[in-house]
A and B are shown apart, each in its own frame.
Chain A
Amino acid sequence: MLAFLARLTLAVVGLSVLTGPTHAQQKELTLWTHWAAEQIKRDYVEAAIREFETKNPAIKIKPTWYEKTALYAALKTALRAGQAPDLFYAEPDQVEYMENGFLLDLSDLNWAAIEPWAKQAWTYKGKPYGFPLEAWTVELYYNRKMMEELGVAVPAALQLTPDAFLDLVKKAKAKGWTPMALGVGDRPFPGAHLTHEALLKKLGTEDYDKLLKGKLAWTDPRVVDTLKYVRSLTAAGLLPATFTSLKLGEAHTYFHTNPRALMFLNGSWYTSRAFNAPDKGGQPVDFALGIMKFPNVPGAACADCRTIAVGGSYVGNADTKHKKEVIAFLNSFATVEKGNEWLAKVQVQSGIKSDPAKLTGKAADYFKMIAATNAGATYYFGIPIQVMQGKPKEVFTQIINNAFPAGSIGVEDAAKQLQAAAN
């Protein structure tokens, strides 16, 4: 019995000596990420994790999936308490992370594989802090069949004049249709697309940047004129009556399924919902999707100016004990192949360099349309709430995202309140 116990002990000790170092050497990186409900993006990231773990058996990535609001709230307390994960999801507007030294300097990343503008979006005081997975442009989607039924031909340049667009809105309304599906029930930005794209065209990138940063007055005649043009569109019945309570997901369905709207102004991540199966909220199989440029505005300084934004990104925790592993994991995304894979699977632009020419099928058609509307574009990087901070951002959200397009506040009053917040 004694001999048996001795042998057993030896065997256990021997086994632990053999296996111990492997377990002791395996490092676990924690990742808190948004996209709990966006299966396509989740699949992409999970596949990348599996691939990375296969190539790096000594490293294990442990993801926790959240919805954005819950993630942000959890991170605020976890970062403060020193309990944050090694890697987490963030967006470039979260400058407070960088201001307080919470993010890992990612200078060692393979930036050659990242679009320069995407790196710029994540650069703070000369150092890059985020890996820009997702990028997007503001696109004006439309229903081709409804447009044909209305007898309106979208010009070859894909951009309507201010008057032609107003006329289109009136014609759709006269037919009993909702000209544009848009809702601000659960997001602080969809309603603002209408005004900020118009302002960008009117002012051009430099003055638009000044406006968002408080260096150009909201009472500037050009700004007021643009607000008046936008008001003429909403007054003509551009938006659904449910605009203030319609949620983002519902606005998608409103556009392509029920009750249907002629147009839909949305980020190019439209695909992440609409290209799902119809029983999972996707657009109907035979849906004739078209994309045109946002209409020109009266007296525009830059008719081809448009917004491009970096969205979902991954950042490293400055306090991580596994800096090299964090960089290695993020670098595993930084290849043209991974960029192409993102385009093909997620069907949204990416900050990773990619080659859309290699795409096939539905994704290829979609990116051809996106390429056409973006041809010759001059970009402004970031939507206003990614650029503005504090009170101006809150006032902008309440007024430009919601009350102004809803018609609850007049042009002069809106400009006055925005200017008061900017002072």
Chain B
Amino acid sequence: MREAMPAKRHGGLRQPWGTITAFLLPALTVYAAFTAYPAFRTLWNSFHKVLPRREEFIGLANYTELLQDEIFWRAVRNTITWACISPLVEVTVALLLALALYARIPGARFFRIAWFTPVLMSYIVVGILWVWIYNYDWGPINVALRALGLGGLARAWLGDPDTALPALIFITSWMWVGFNMVVLLAALHSLPKEVIEAAELDNCGWGAKLVFVVLPLVRATLLNLVVLSFIGKMKIFDLVWITTKGGPLWATETVSTYVYKRAFEWTTFDLGYPSTIATLWFVIVLGAVLALTRAFRLREKLEY
């Protein structure tokens, strides 16, 4: 009897294909239809001129054109600048705010809500809000500058090619700091108390405790936040579309806005070229994320 039971269980595990298929099929179908097929189709399109009712194989012609497309490279430069600066600003400021809350500063509960609130708003609302804030005539920034006698510094922040991109980077940082702060605060609260106490018993100062104990312990969280922010900025579209549509003079053009323009605003129905941009950009983003993950990888497992 004892021998028979395992044999039966073993046989049952060997042939549950019907059950496995029944459970996997819905998810696989959805995945195949809405992820795998569009991804494959985009790659396929990139080698074709894709017009309604006809397709024409053109080999690498789209890629050759893309490599010489100055607007695309400007968009790449802007997007990479954004994706490199924003995560650093967001995570650094978020860490400082999280530490302040962790140290239970006065009004901590209020600040936690206040700092987190921007991320609850959509990019559309945030975009409109900041277009007002950056307004040349009556936006609070310029009004404040004039009140301080610094009217010479007042400018159309989103209309000047020199300031438009930094102004947008500031908006995304303002928006996402709160989210990063909450995640880091959770990470700080889950730190092993005995390690912190041991450091304090060893007369470890505030700075040393932060650098040698806290940061290494939250390193994995920091890495995840940086990667998440990086990926988010590499795909950014809505804020740019609402505020500047990529202008002035392509100063805020991102790869996503350029793909959209080429697909829907370029007086053509061809989907081949926009697919080429999307394919190349996918490869660049994937490579960058892998490189980032490798760079931040923990060389040795922390033990405490």
Contacts and interface: CB of A to CB of B under 8 A. Distances in A.
B267 A95 contact: yes
Contacts of A35: none
B159 interface: yes
A128 to B, nearest CB: 19
B53 A100 contact: yes
A96 B266 CA distance: 9
Contacts of B264: 72-73, 76
B249 A244 contact: no
Contact of B266 (A79, A390, A399): A390
A272 to B, nearest CB: 23
Nearest to B261: A394
A245 B134 CA distance: 10
Which of A242, A389, A390, A399 gathers most chain B CB within 10 Å? Answer: A242
Interface residues of B, number: 25
A403 interface: yes
Contacts of B135: 242, 245
A280 interface: no
Contacts of B265: 72
A244 B268 contact: no
B89 interface: no
A243 interface: yes
Given A242-B135, A245-B131, A394-B71, A96 B250 contact: no
Contacts of A393: 267
A242 B136 contact: yes
A100 B136 contact: no
Interface majority SS on B: helix, strand, loop or mixed? Answer: loop
A243 B268 CA distance: 30
A408 B249 contact: yes
Interface string B260-280: 010011111100000000000
B159 A245 contact: yes
Given A100-B51, A100-B52, A394-B71, A241 B156 contact: yes
B51 A406 contact: no
Interface string A362-396: 00000000000000000000000000011101100
A244 B267 contact: no
A96 B134 CA distance: 37
A96 B262 CA distance: 13
A390 B267 contact: yes
B53 to A, nearest CB: 7
Interface string A95-130: 110001110000000000000000000000000000
A94 interface: yes
14 contacts: A76-B264, A76-B269, A100-B53, A100-B269, A102-B52, A244-B156, A244-B247, A389-B268, A394-B71, A398-B248, A403-B161, A403-B249, A408-B249, A409-B249
